[in-house]
Amino acid sequence: MKGGDVMKPRAKWTSLFFGFFSLFFISIFLVFLSIPILAQNESSGSSRIYVDITSPGQKKLQVLFYYSGRGSDEIKSYLEKDLDVYGIFLPLFTSSKLSMDDVRLIGAVLYVEYNVSLEGDSLITDLKIYSSESGEKIFEKILKAKSNEPFMVAHRIADIIYELITGRKGLLGREIVAVRKIGGGNEILLVDPGTRTYRRVLYSTNPILSPSFSPDRSKIIFSMMVHGDFDIYELELATGKYRKVCSTPGPDSTPVYSPDGSRIAFTGYKGAEGGIFLCDPKTGKVTPLIVERGVINTSPTWSPDGRELAYVSNRAGHPSIYIYDFSSNRIRRITAGRYDVDPDWSPDGEKIIYSSMEGGWFLRVYYLKTGNIVLLGNGEDPSFSVNSDYIVYVKGGNLFIRSLYGSIEVRVATGYWQNPYWR
């Protein structure tokens, strides 16, 4: 559960590529390990190749890169990390240009050419992508970035490849926000999932919990204890300044913006009763939404259309995930595990990821159309990527990323992390 609730034990609860010949012979072997099933998207004039990444046992797809120009080696090193995050690609690199027959013999799905040049302080990358099956160029673009940011070019290339292969949006252009505990204090950090690096946006000796982005990602909202009480604060990323925006008489936590940014849902208190409250970030006006006597309601997460809110409640005796409908004021229960917390609603609106404690922390996905619940593996504090295909989560204090459709985990940060938020 996103930090700040009182149903977990306290310690957990506040967590609220080589020359051509090497390439050739190695890849002849690899082709037998990875034979993808492809389908041309006829409606787009074969501009994309689609692969069902959700099918069980999907083999990694070989992508062959021909790179040239000053700075291309740096981009190569970042591309290897970026494609590793996706977990479905096997990147092969060569500095020798190959014929399309060679590409097919190797077994690559895509042939990617990129040439890099420097113009002043700008890195200019001429990107061309070909389908190995048809031999046709399916993508071409000039990518520009600052000369000291080759990783930005790599992120864009990796995202383009993912989009061409799956038809779904890439995720490497978005940082993850999370809290890390360090000696003497807490810091809010922005984590680049591709480079596995991070940058600090706020440090405080006061406890910090539950950061999340505003819809336009220009602000971060979080809970912080000042003078013995947790309140809701808003940090402006451009300036680094923050201000208190929401408060109730008790500890306030787990704030999340509505999809349109006009409201904040958070956990607060009305007297002795913990519940879900709404707050206007402009005026600070707070309105109780779900407050019940003797019941703890916490950890809200909005549906993408803003019409519903999933949250945690112990109204049935132990923490479970419920959904509140704004139009009808009706509440329905969707999980019945022993201890279900940390819900996050996917951007595509189709599922909710959450943590479940049953002799350890497990990640589960609830599919709203069918009611099916799928066990992913160990972890807690999950949050969806923007394309709803991946999640970031905490395991053993470290930050990990994984796909919903495979078992490969990628560790992106080590330390004592909590409350990651991506989208």
Task: Place domain 174-421 in its CATH homologous superfamily.
Answer: TolB, C-terminal domain (2.120.10.30)
What does the pLDDT look like over 322-366, one tens digit per residue? 999 999 999 999 999 999 999 999 999 999 999 999 999 999 999
Phi, psi of 194 (to 5 degrees): -80, -55
Q: Which residues in the chain are classed under CATH 3.40.50.10070?
A: 20-166
Environment class of residue 121 by beta-carbon count within 10 Å: exposed (0-12), middle (13-18) or buried (19+)? exposed
Q: How far apart are CA 33 and CA 327, in angstroms?
A: 52
What does the pLDDT look like over 153-204, one tens digit per residue? 999 999 999 999 999 999 999 999 999 999 889 999 999 999 999 999 999 9
Positive or negative, the CA dihedral 128, 131, 136, 138 is: negative
Q: How far apart are CA 179 and CA 4, in angstroms?
A: 13
C-alpha separations of 387 from 178, 394, 423 in Å: 19, 20, 8
Indicate whether 56 pLDDT > 70.
no
Contact 266, 253 (CB under 8 A): yes
Q: Which residues in the chain are classed under CATH 2.120.10.30?
A: 174-421
pTM: 0.88
Mention the CATH class of domain 20-166.
alpha beta
**What does pLDDT average to over the chain?**
89
**Least-confidence region, from 31-45, 83-97, 396-410:** 31-45
